[in-house]
Amino acid sequence: MTATAATATVEVPVDPDTAFWIFTEEIDLWWVRGPINFFDAARATAMHIEPHLDGRILEVYALPDDVLELGRITAWSPGNHFTYRSSVDDTQTHITFTPTDSGTEVTVVQSLVQDGAKAFYFWPNVISWFPAWLSRRDTAPSTPREADRLAIALYYEDPAAAARWLHTAYGLDSWSTIPAEGSSPSWIELNVGTRAILLFPRTAPNPPQNDHSTWIFVDDLDAHFAQATAAGAKILTPIHQHGYRRYETQDLEGHHWTFAQARPTQ
């Protein structure tokens, strides 16, 4: 049965008017350009919100006037809230900006409309990109961060637990957030530079686990090896030199990883 709603909340260290303006006007900067973060990632060039009642939420493509309408704005109150009715599924999304002692609480409620059947509840994954953007906004480039052309997909029984383990053992981070205990997002995106590692729930029974090895270059291989060992990673081959100085390890569900020493200029 389709869930009837999905809710997510983040807090940002700016006032509601500023938060609202950045959220809507700079969506193309804080929207992560990962390989699965658009309806047509092969053609998408931008995200855009038309800032008024009956304005459109758009996924923009390269050709003039070539867009995908994601929704239509049904309520618009700058600094307070806006609501849009989805054009791609049967949901309505209400986004509020509430003042707090330290800034603004941004809450997104994505709900199935009456008699609706289809819902893509992506906002719980997406909303964490917004505070991540604010934390680096003053020093970040004023053009969207492009994803690298290589991405890796890994399948786990528990992707959220795997993400936390990969963060602790291998130091992998995310442009958005590492999922907390008890959370179960539909997908998780970890990042190494501009490259994405996508974690998905395993659906096929007993798929092959060791038919690949993920390579990552790190600044300090010895420190990384010590971190992974302390976290309980299974070391398949300790640090050795053969072309690259590297070591091989296995994660908590059997995936193989190779960590190599990066060049000083890399």
Model confidence at 119: pLDDT above 60: yes
- What pLDDT, in 10s, does the model give residues 121-142? 999 889 989 998 999 899 877 7
Q: Is the pTM of this model over 0.75?
A: no
* Nearest to 121, CA basis, from 187, 68, 54: 187
The alpha carbons of the chain give a radius of gyration, in whole angstroms, of 20
Percentage of the chain exceeding pLDDT 70: 90
| DSSP bridge pairs for 11 | 105
pLDDT digits (tens, 9 = 90+) for 50-63: 999 999 999 998 77
Measured distance CA(87)–CA(116) in Å, rounded:
12
Highest mean pLDDT among 71-85, 152-166, 233-247: 71-85
3-state secondary structure of 245: strand
List domains and CATH numbers for the chain.
5-136 (3.30.530.20), 151-261 (3.10.180.10)
Q: Position of tokens 């505070």? A: 131
Q: pLDDT at position 98, please?
A: 98
pLDDT value of residue 192 = 83
For residue 67, the surrounding DSSP H or E stretch is strand 67-77
Mean pLDDT of 188-196: 82
How many residues can be counted in the chain?
266
